[in-house]
Structure 1
Amino acid sequence: MTGVLRSDTGHEIAPLDDPGETPTPADVAALIVELQSAGLRTDADVETRTGGAGPSDSGMLWIEGMPVTVPVRTEEARRSPYVLRPEDDGGRAIYRDGRRLASVAASHRPRYYDRETADGVPYWKIALLHLDSMASTVVQTCNYWNTADQCRFCGIGVSLAAGSTIVKKTPEQLGEVSVAAKELDGAVDATLTTGSSTAPDRGARYVARCGRAVKDASGLPVEIQFEPPRDLAILDEVHDMGGSDAVGIHVESFDPQVLAHVAPGKARTGIETYFRTWERAVELWGSGRVSTYVILGMGEDPDLTVEACRRAVDIGVYPFVVPLRPVAGSLMEDWAPPPGPYSNRIYWQVAAYMSRRGMSADDAVAGCARCQACSAINAVQQPLLQIGPRPGSAS
Structure 2
Amino acid sequence: MQWRDLKARLLEAGSARISGEPADDFIAKSTAGPGAGGLGSVFFSMGSHRVKLAVNPASAIEIAHRGGGVAELYFEDQQIPGRLIRPGLHCPDQAFITVTESCIFSCRYCSVPRLHGKRKTVGEIMDLVESVRHRVSAISLTSGVAGSIENEEAYVCEVIRHLLFFDLPIGVSIYPAEKTPEKLFALGVAEVKFNIEAATPVLFAEMCPGLDYDRLWRVLDRSVELFGKGRVFSNVIIGLGENDAEMEACINQLTSHGVIPVLRPLNPVAGCTGASRPSAERLKHIYAMHSRALAAAGLDPTIALTMCTNCAGCDLVPGRDE
Q: TM-score, normalised by structure 1?
A: 0.72
Counterpart of 1:274, as a letter, is L
Equivalent-residue separation in structure 2 for 1:310 and 1:197 (angstroms): 33
Computed over aligned residues only, the root mean square deviation of the Cα atoms, in angstroms, reads 2.7
**For 1:35-74, what aligned pairs fall within 5 Å after superposition?**
35-38=10-13, 39-44=15-20, 45-46=22-23, 47-50=26-29, 52-54=31-33, 55-56=35-36, 57-73=40-56
1:148-179 per-residue CA deviation (whole Å, 9 max, x = no partner) reads xx111112245545xxxxx1222333223212
Q: 2:195 matched to which residue of 1? A: 250
Cα offset, 1:359, TM superposition: 1.6
**1:352 to 2:313 alignment:** no
**1:140 to 2:101 alignment:** yes
Q: Which is greater in Rg?
A: 1
Q: 1:302 matched to which residue of 2? A: 244
Q: 1:106 matched to which residue of 2? A: 84
Equivalent-residue separation in structure 2 for 1:93 and 1:156 (angstroms): 32
Q: Tell me if the contact between 1:171 and 1:211 (Cα under 8 Å) persists in the aligned partners.
A: no
**For 1:116-155, what aligned pairs fall within 5 Å after superposition?**
128-144=89-105, 150-155=106-111
Alignment partner for residue 311 of structure 1, among 250, 253, 256?
Answer: 253
Q: 1:123 matched to which residue of 2? A: none
Equivalent-residue separation in structure 2 for 1:304 and 1:202 (angstroms): 34
The runs of 4+ residues in structure 1 deviating greater than 6 Å are 87-90
Cα offset, 1:106, TM superposition: 0.6
Structure 2 SS opposite 1:40: strand
**Cα distance 1:345–1:210, how it changes in 2: closer, same or farther (>3 A)?**
same
**Cα distance 1:109–1:158, how it changes in 2: closer, same or farther (>3 A)?**
farther
Counterpart of 2:167, as a letter, is G
Q: Tell me if the contact between 1:51 and 1:158 (Cα under 8 Å) persists in the aligned partners.
A: no
1:176-234 per-residue CA deviation (whole Å, 9 max, x = no partner) reads 32122122xx1121211111366463622321221232221x222111112231x33x4
Counterpart of 2:132, as a letter, is A
Equivalent-residue separation in structure 2 for 1:284 and 1:30 (angstroms): 37
Runs of at least 5 residues in structure 1 that lack an aligned partner in the other structure:
1-12, 14-26, 111-127, 145-149, 162-166, 384-395
**Is the deviation greater in 195-204 or in 342-351?**
195-204
Cα offset, 1:372, TM superposition: 1.5
Equivalent-residue separation in structure 1 for 2:234 and 2:73 (angstroms): 31
Q: 1:23 matched to which residue of 2? A: none
Equivalent-residue separation in structure 2 for 1:210 and 1:88 (angstroms): 37
**For 1:257-268, what aligned pairs fall within 5 Å after superposition?**
257-266=202-211
Counterpart of 2:51, as a letter, is V
Q: 1:387 matched to which residue of 2? A: none
Equivalent-residue separation in structure 2 for 1:303 and 1:187 (angstroms): 39
Q: 2:265 matched to which residue of 1? A: 323
1:70-109 per-residue CA deviation (whole Å, 9 max, x = no partner) reads 133176xx2x3x4323569983232334333x43211347
**Cα distance 1:58–1:200, how it changes in 2: closer, same or farther (>3 A)?**
closer
Q: 2:219 matched to which residue of 1? A: 277
Equivalent-residue separation in structure 2 for 1:348 and 1:175 (angstroms): 40
Equivalent-residue separation in structure 2 for 1:352 and 1:297 (angstroms): 21
**1:196 to 2:145 alignment:** yes
Q: 1:18 matched to which residue of 2? A: none
Equivalent-residue separation in structure 2 for 1:201 and 1:159 (angstroms): 22
Runs of at least 5 residues in structure 2 that lack an aligned partner in the other structure:
none
**1:372 to 2:320 alignment:** no
Q: TM-score, normalised by structure 2?
A: 0.86
Cα offset, 1:32, TM superposition: 0.9
**Cα distance 1:201–1:103, how it changes in 2: closer, same or farther (>3 A)?**
same
Equivalent-residue separation in structure 2 for 1:241 and 1:219 (angstroms): 12
Q: Tell me if the contact between 1:52 and 1:157 (Cα under 8 Å) persists in the aligned partners.
A: no
Equivalent-residue separation in structure 1 for 2:159 and 2:83 (angstroms): 32
Counterpart of 1:135, as a letter, is F
**For 1:165-204, what aligned pairs fall within 5 Å after superposition?**
167-183=118-134, 186-196=135-145, 199=148, 201=150, 203-204=152-153
Structure 1 SS opposite 2:90: strand
Structure 2 SS opposite 1:304: helix
Q: Tell me if the contact between 2:51 and 2:314 (Cα under 8 Å) persists in the aligned partners.
A: yes
Bigger RCO of structures 1 and 2 (CA < 8 A, at least 6 apart): 2
Equivalent-residue separation in structure 1 for 2:112 and 2:208 (angstroms): 14
Equivalent-residue separation in structure 1 for 2:101 and 2:185 (angstroms): 23
Counterpart of 1:363, as a letter, is I
Q: Tell me if the contact between 2:69 and 2:85 (Cα under 8 Å) persists in the aligned partners.
A: no
